[in-house]
Amino acid sequence: MTVQQVLVIDDEPDIRELLSMTLARMNLATKEAGTVKEAKSLLLDGGFDLCLTDMRLPDGSGIDLVRFAQEKHPHLPIAVITAYGNVESAVEALKAGAFDFVSKPVQLDDLRNLVAAALKASAPAYDKQRRHRQMLIGDSPAMQEIRGTIGKLARSQAPIYISGDSGTGKELVARLIHDQSARSEAPFVPVNCGAIPSELMESEFFGHKKGSFTGATANKPGLFQAADGGTLFMDEIAELPMHMQVKLLRAIQEKAVRPVGAQSEIPINVRFLSATQSDLSGLVAKGKFREDLYYRINVIELRVPNLRERVGDIPLLVEHFLRRLDEGGPRYVLNEDAYAALNAYPFPGNVRELENILQRAVALCDGHTIAAEDLGLGPADRGGALSGYVPGNEPLEGYLARIEKQALIDALNHTGQNKTAAAKLLGMSFRSLRYKLDKFGID
């Protein structure tokens, strides 16, 4: 059996010896370097499964080595050792491509956990292949790019902020990052921040001790503890009240949580992913979202495209959803007019709305051929929503925004101004509808 090898880089011989002894007890071989120059020479020779480097070196920085390793050995996980509390340098390292970081003074248990996760991440790709019940459907350039990005992000431990409109599949993207990562055997815990009452958030996230408040009849672990070793995905993170933003920032930075009523913190080992359809940078500018938390969760941003940005994927998505709706019976198909109507429709609810439209069409159509009128998009949409667009007269994004606004107004008129029914008709959540009504100034 081949012994895995780690490159240890630090300008202090005592620290190199301590790290090497710890790794030796994990049955790992080590090589040591004291400068950036020595480390680059050893890295060029290759053969390493992991690299540990101090941030400050006599002839450069650990960031230089992260970038060098990314260029020469993009699949080699490299972790940096930073000064205690130096969050800025840790974030910079993660942005440069570092797998993870550990703060000085190094806690050996934290180091062992990091090393174990990094070595698992560097294992051959076939060891980590998973069968997904869900997948990203589409062959458009946007989807090919996002699939490649997911593969890269899965090899890191960096916090990732997933942006995109309602119904684009942000949670699916987060789940795929988890499934392709070294944490795939551990829990993936999704939570919608907007669905938790403000007064219960601290207990839900961090847990509580028995007797800590009225109704706390037993110890209860929180969502962070439930995700320990795995991934915590916080959707609609913009909905967090300010007092929870402070507590969340500390939990991410310190990698520890304090349950309500507890006297001490509990260490946690969680990969943190977040998402929202709101404009977080705009909320920061308005003072409604903490700037320090924004930069901590937004180490890497991954934007999920709208369906109207990848109209060419609609046939594949239609085939995928109809196959799920067949339930073992005869196959449903769309005629040409139905496809033309879908291609012209702006899809304010994105992929989720497309699925809802097809579910409704399967229930209402006669036979197994779905026509344009079975889709329930309205006469204007079947006539071609983009037929009036003249390239050069105005930006496409502005034109599509006007169409989206009109689709919202039409849905409200169709449902007698019933917002709940309009949200269902458009295939989006009530919260998403409220956000879009506010965005477009629709009263």
pLDDT above 70 for 391 = no
Residues 349 and 270 in one domain: no
CA 392 to chain centre: 35
Token pair 């980590």 in the structure block, residue = 128
Mean pLDDT of 400-419: 81
CATH number, position 331: 1.10.8.60
Q: Quick one: pLDDT at residue 334? A: 92
Residues 47 and 159 in one domain: no
CB 402 within 8 A of CB 440: no
Mean pLDDT computed over every residue of the chain: 85
Most distant CA pair in the chain, distance:
78
Q: Quick one: pLDDT at residue 132? A: 46
Residues 175 and 299 in one domain: yes
Listing DSSP states for 9-69 in one string gives E-S-HHHHHHHHHHHHTTT-EEEEESSHHHHHHHHHH---SEEEEESEETTEEHHHHHHHH
Query: Rounded to an integer, what distance in angstroms lies between the CA atom of residue 347 and that of residue 425?
Result: 11
Task: Could you list the beta-strand ranges (E) of 200-295.
Answer: 231-235, 256-257, 266-267, 271-276
User: Residues with Cβ < 8 Å from 429, sequence gap 6 or more?
Assistant: 166, 423
Token pair 């008709």 in the structure block, residue = 425
| Both structure tokens of 139 | 């062959």
Query: Rounded to an integer, what distance in angstroms lies between the CA atom of residue 361 and that of residue 357?
Result: 6
pLDDT above 60 for 94 = yes
Q: What is the DSSP letter of 387?
A: T
Residue 136 belongs to some domain of the structure: no
Residue 128 belongs to some domain of the structure: no
Q: Quick one: pLDDT at residue 328? A: 66
Please give the span between the terminal C-alpha atoms of the chain, in angstroms, as a whole number.
Answer: 68
Q: Quick one: pLDDT at residue 394? A: 66
Query: Rounded to an integer, what distance in angstroms lies between the CA atom of residue 58 and that of residue 63?
Result: 13
Q: Quick one: pLDDT at residue 249? A: 93
Residues 378 and 354 in one domain: yes
Selected residue with higher pLDDT from 392 and 387: 392
Residues 212 and 319 in one domain: no
pLDDT above 70 for 101 = yes
CATH number, position 47: 3.40.50.2300
Residue 134 belongs to some domain of the structure: no
pLDDT above 60 for 247 = yes
Picking from 284, 303, 322, the residue at the C-terminal end of a domain is 303
Residues 160 and 279 in one domain: yes
Residues 281 and 188 in one domain: yes
Q: Quick one: pLDDT at residue 381? A: 44
Residues 246 and 231 in one domain: yes
Mean pLDDT of 269-290: 92
Nearest 5 degrees, angle CA 29-CA 89-CA 297? 105
Residue 130 belongs to some domain of the structure: no
Most confident region among 106-120, 239-253, 388-402 by mean pLDDT: 239-253
Residue 206 belongs to some domain of the structure: yes
Read off the pLDDT band of 411 (50, 70, 90): confident
Picking from 303, 318, 345, the residue at the C-terminal end of a domain is 303
Residues 171 and 276 in one domain: yes
Residue 142 backbone dihedrals phi, psi, to 5 degrees: -65, -40
pLDDT above 70 for 383 = no
Residues 346 and 276 in one domain: no
Q: Work out the number of other CB atoms within 10 angstroms of the CB of residue 164.
A: 18
Instruction: Kindly report, residue by residue over 112-169, the tens digit of the pLDDT.
Output: 888 988 887 666 543 444 444 457 898 899 999 999 899 889 888 889 999 998 889 9
Instruction: Characterize 208-221 residue by residue with b for buried, 16 or more Cβ atoms within 10 angstroms of its Cβ, and e for exposed.
Output: bbeebeeeeeeebe
Length of the chain (residues): 443
Q: What is the DSSP letter of 301?
A: E
Between strands 160-163 and 300-303, the pairing is parallel
| Both structure tokens of 420 | 């709940």
pLDDT above 80 for 420 = yes
pLDDT above 90 for 91 = no
| Residue 408 domain boundaries | 307-440
Instruction: Kindly report, residue by residue over 31-85, the tens digit of the pLDDT.
Output: 999 999 999 999 998 889 999 999 999 999 999 999 998 888 888 899 998 875 6
Token pair 């700037």 in the structure block, residue = 291
Picking from 303, 321, 349, the residue at the C-terminal end of a domain is 303
Residue 389 belongs to some domain of the structure: yes
CATH number, position 235: 3.40.50.300
Number of domains in the chain: 3
Residue 392, helix vs strand vs coil: coil
Query: Rounded to an integer, what distance in angstroms lies between the CA atom of residue 110 and that of residue 19?
Result: 12
Residues 299 and 324 in one domain: no
Residues 290 and 337 in one domain: no
| Both structure tokens of 137 | 């459907």
| Both structure tokens of 122 | 């560097």
Instruction: Kindly report, residue by residue over 209-237, the tens digit of the pLDDT.
Output: 888 887 777 888 899 999 999 999 999 99
Mean pLDDT of 88-117: 84
The CA-atom distances, in angstroms, between 18 and each of 8, 14, 107 are: 10, 6, 11
Residue 238 belongs to some domain of the structure: yes
Query: Rounded to an integer, what distance in angstroms lies between the CA atom of residue 50 and that of residue 44?
Result: 14
pLDDT above 90 for 187 = yes
